[in-house]
Amino acid sequence: MSLVAHEELKQDAPILSGPAESRDFPDCFRDQQRAAWRQFEILPKPTRKDQAWRFANVGLLDLTPFKFGGALRDDERTAILEQSRGLEDVAGRMIFAGDQLIERDVISDQLKKRGVIFQSLERAMVEHSDLFRRHFMSQPAILGSAKFAALHQALVSSGTFLYVPRGVEVELPIEIFHWLNGENASVFPHLLLVTDELAKVTVIEHFRSVDRCLPGFACGVNDLIAGPGAKVTYVCAQNWGENVVALQMNSTTVDHDASAMSLNLHLGSRYSRFESLSRLMGEGGRSDLLAVSIAKAQQEFDARTLQDHISPHTASDLLYKNALDNRARSIFGGLIRVEPHAHFADAYQKVRNLLLSDDAEANSMPGLEILADNVRCTHGATSGQINEDELFYLRTRGIPVPAAQRLVVAGFLNEVIQRLDHPTIADHLRQTIEDKFANK
Amino acid sequence: MKELNTDKLRIAIADQEIVRGLTLRVPRGEVHALMGPNGSGKSTLAKVLAGHPDYQVTGGKITMDGEDLLELEPDERARRGLFMAFQYPSEIPGVTIANFLRAALQSRLPEGEELEATDYYAKLYEKMELLGMDRSFTSRAVNEGFSGGEKKRTEILQLAMLEPKYAVLDETDSGLDIDALKTVAHGVNSLRGPNLGILLITHYQRLLNYIVPDHVHVMVAGRIVRSGRKELALELEERGYDWARDGAVEPAFR
């Protein structure tokens, strides 16, 4: 465990005042931040007229109230560490609160010796500048949030850098926590995961709020790079407080014969935008895109995806399931694109909405753009209600209606979670889902 | 009186009367077979006993150990000790057998009390062995992708786990080959005893070779037309339902 403290001269300043000049970053990084800030200022605000923001409640994206995080008091820090409970056994762990690294469980000496790098972003940009520069913010934000990707790049001040070299398998998962703390606080979580040839790693990120009622803002980026034949598993358990506005931009780059699986669990926030770009760069690459959402009250989950098949013999499989109660809304805009010459692609996309109230709303916009021949491709989106026969069957076993409904919803979502080849993480996600049901 | 009792029961669906004054008593500890041709109202009776909302009871009573069942919701009936093995059990996608049965048993405990996991699994594995089911079955989703035999075995597994006072088995033999039929019958027979009353609903006599009933009732057009000892099933098999109907005297039973 080590402590990292920062000089924070912009404490409590509005985020719209721009990046801090005083931070102790390398010049080139600060230049990038300034350039990104100019981009952010130039790019237009999203409107519903943009296809990429269709159906979205863009009115919630007013950033004026949000501030940089303040310094943590000792008791706050202790409380956060106490609540940072996730998996029992991990290979390494970082805990961030208000974008400050407050605790780090380092990886074993053995993994270090084999060349695994697990560092904060600000250290990696100095100590592994080549790797960092090659991959940091190297993927295009083409799913609508270019403005917010620029904002992220301008204001990101910490995050996780994880590099797994050739042939190294990290057996236990790496775990990362990001906490929002304080009213109108903001965070800019960042994960850069680079795996080399035949490497293997699993990462789980938890996004949480200290006070579940306070408004806040999260604008995160995770870039997952699977080298040739590598296997990358990424899980995100998003459980921000109920008045948080959150944007998360993911890119997954899959080299030849590599496989990437990501599962995003969306439970928290008032409005949560999730963009996921899967780029299948090399032959034999595969990407599995999984997501589970449980939306209640006025929550809105807005997902935009692109499965981009660039090389032949690539596979992608998207399965998103949403359970929507009360007046909650879901939006799904997803495109499968098979580039010319990317023959023999297998591309699947399936979105299922379970509507638990008459006022819940699901909007789905699946899309295909196939420029190659000889492609296997299916897509579809459906919405439905709980099947009355299933409910009756459960009741005849003595299970009362509310518990029977919970069981049906959990089963509906479990079909996604059981795709994860990791029983401990799957159990953790199921428990997190159960807790959300239990709280309300 | 420890019995499941329907008294002059009348059931309609969409204004059409299907069960027309049915009186039937299944005492605890006995096995009663209810036989009848398609459309006689057997399955409708089963669904109404379980509390299906689509059917309307237009007359008569149903009581279980003297308690009015019609006043109770389906889940309340189950918790008081009624079990229904369905002809076509529902699939519950993503819900494992283990979780499903755990929820069912949990619902029978007082609030705040947690089911003891070790005992639960010990009992589950014991009952599965009885029914020749592999343990890996517990992690499969309820009835999803099950063969006919697997579905029926799962119904009987639930019967064994939930230990009801009365069980209604609706066409439990349908969709079963001879091996599966014997396994299911063995499971049911092993549960027979003074604490369980069974109403066995079937179209065919063959099941009754393996689960030998104490009494047989023949139902035609919404009424019991004949009742007798187990030999009645064989006679019916020989002579057919027309014989049963033609020879009926009204009122049908007791």
Contact A407 B158 (CB under 8 A): no
What DSSP letter does each residue of A30-86 carry, written as one string? HHHHHHHHHHHHHSPPP-TTSGGGTT--GGGG--TT-B---PPPHHHHHHHHHH---
* pLDDT score for B208: 93
A401 in contact with B, Cβ within 8 Å:
yes
What DSSP letter does each residue of B4-57 carry, written as one string? EEEEEEEEEETTEEEEEEEEEEEETT-EEEEE--TTSSHHHHHHHHHT-TT-EE
pTM of the model: 0.89
The dihedral formed by the CA atoms of A336, A337, A343 and A346, expressed in degrees to the nearest 10: -10
Contact A397 B73 (CB under 8 A): no
Q: Where are the domains of chain A?
A: 15-281, 387-440
CA distance A50 to A56: 10
Write out pLDDT tens, residues A123-181: 999 999 999 999 999 998 999 999 999 999 999 999 999 999 999 999 999 999 999 99
Residue B92: list chain A partners with CB under 8 A: 390, 393-394, 407-408, 411
Sheet holding A92-97, edge to edge: A100-105, A92-97, A174-180, A200-209, A231-239, A259-266, A286-295, A315-324, A346-355, A376-385
A412 in contact with B, Cβ within 8 Å:
yes
Rounded to a whole number, what is the distance in Å from the CA of A409 to chain B's nearest CA? Answer: 9
Assign domain B3-246 to its CATH architecture: 3-Layer(aba) Sandwich (3.40)
Each residue's pLDDT, cut to its tens digit, for chain A (440 residues) gives 334 444 445 668 999 999 887 678 999 999 999 999 999 999 999 999 999 999 999 999 999 999 998 789 999 999 999 999 999 999 999 999 999 999 999 999 999 999 999 999 999 999 999 999 999 999 989 999 999 999 999 999 999 999 999 999 999 999 999 999 999 999 999 999 999 999 999 999 999 999 999 999 999 999 999 999 999 999 999 999 999 999 999 999 999 999 999 999 999 999 999 999 999 999 999 999 999 999 999 999 999 999 999 999 999 999 999 999 999 999 999 999 999 999 999 999 999 999 999 999 999 999 999 999 899 999 999 999 999 999 999 999 999 999 999 999 999 999 999 999 899 999 999 999 988 887 74
* pLDDT score for B83: 98
Query: Which amino acid is located at A218 in the chain?
Result: A
Q: Which residue of A has its CA nearest to B84?
A: A396
Sheet holding B3-13, edge to edge: B16-27, B3-13, B56-64, B67-68
CA distance A286 to A96: 31
Among A394, A400, A401, select the one facing B92 at the smallest CB separation: A394
> Contact, A208 vs A181, CB < 8 A?
no
Q: Where are the domains of chain B?
A: 3-246
Q: Please, where are the H alpha helices in chain B?
A: 42-50, 74-80, 97-106, 117-130, 148-162, 178-191, 207-210, 231-239, 241-246
- Which of B88, B107, B138, B154 to mutate to probe the A interface, most A CBs <10 Å? B107
Q: For chain B, which ranges sit under pLDDT 50? A: 249-254
* pLDDT score for A437: 81
Contact A395 B91 (CB under 8 A): no
Q: Which residue of A has its CA nearest to B164?
A: A397
Residue A397: list chain B partners with CB under 8 A: 75, 78, 100, 103-104, 107, 158, 162
Residue A387: list chain B partners with CB under 8 A: 90
Among A395, A399, A413, select the one facing B94 at the smallest CB separation: A413
The answer to whether the peptide bond before residue B251 is cis (omega within 30 degrees of 0) is yes
